[in-house]
Amino acid sequence: KAGVTQTPRYLIKTRGQQVTLSCSPISGHRSVSWYQQTPGQGLQFLFEYFSETQRNKGNFPGRFSGRQFSNSRSEMNVSTLELGDSALYLCASSLRWEYEQYFGPGTRLTVT
Amino acid sequence: AQSVTQPDIHITVSEGASLELRCNYSYGATPYLFWYVQSPGQGLQLLLKYFSGDTLVQGIKGFEAEFKRSQSSFNLRKPSVHWSDAAEYFCAVGAGTASKLTFGTGTRLQVTL
């Protein structure tokens, strides 16, 4: 079974721009979560979607948003990029929220 | 709110030696507990999980962890470390859900030959 895939793997953007990251979960998984990983703040939860509904949201500004489609694929969007948004963005999927998560390889976002 | 503490930032062990990575959590009820491993430039790989039941859980790559409620701990162990185990290890807790995780700061494992 294919794992979680994330596209693109690497991205360079300029301050003020917006970016969209994509995540395809493992087949059959309906829960998708997003995390931000930085050297300073570590791994932080962004949001979780299940059946196209946001179930949980972390403590991030409104510039960070996401959505989930009917095929469980998910996207996250960051508007008005700041230098501090440079990070590894990880997507994880699971059957449902009671089950363990499996992570994708991440998207490395660099904001210049 | 739940929290996770990994007191060791960096550990160095010799190949073939035993390993124990410490993890303490803070949560009022029985949490979902996980250990993940991350190699440089990679995502997180699930090593093992604890949801309920037997407090000693077995994972992949010869790892095991023991849930001790009285100590609020979930330490990771391996009897004999291999050079390929060098990576960063993260303990994580889920409070009532396994899909909104709070992670520890990680322990970087170095293995000497």
pLDDT given at position B57: 97
- Dihedral angle, C-alpha B52, B94, B86, B67, nearest 10 °: -30
What's the pLDDT tens digit per position in B23-40?
999 987 889 999 999 998
Return the pLDDT at B62.
Answer: 97
For residue A46, pLDDT over 80 is answered with yes
Q: What spatial distance separates the first Cα and last Cα of chain A, rounded to whole Å?
A: 37
pLDDT digits (tens, 9 = 90+) for B3-15: 999 999 999 999 9
pLDDT tens sequence across B65-82? 999 999 999 999 999 999
Hey, are the CB atoms on A48 and B42 less than 8 Å from each other?
no
Q: Minimal CA–CA distance to A93: which of A42, A43, A51?
A: A51
Chain A residues near residue B44 by CB distance under 8 angstroms? 90, 92, 103
B63-72 CB contacts, 8 Å cutoff, 24+ apart = B63/B35, B65/B33, B65/B35, B67/B33, B69/B30, B71/B24, B72/B24, B72/B25, B72/B26, B72/B27
Mean pLDDT of chain B: 95
Distance from CA of B103 to the nearest CA of A (A): 6
Q: Which residue on chain B is closest to A57 by alpha carbon?
A: B100
pLDDT at A1 over 80: no
Q: For an interface test with A, which of B93, B100, B105, B108 has the most A Cβ atoms less than 10 Å from its Cβ?
A: B100
Instruction: Please give the average per-residue pLDDT across A56-65, as a whole number.
Output: 96
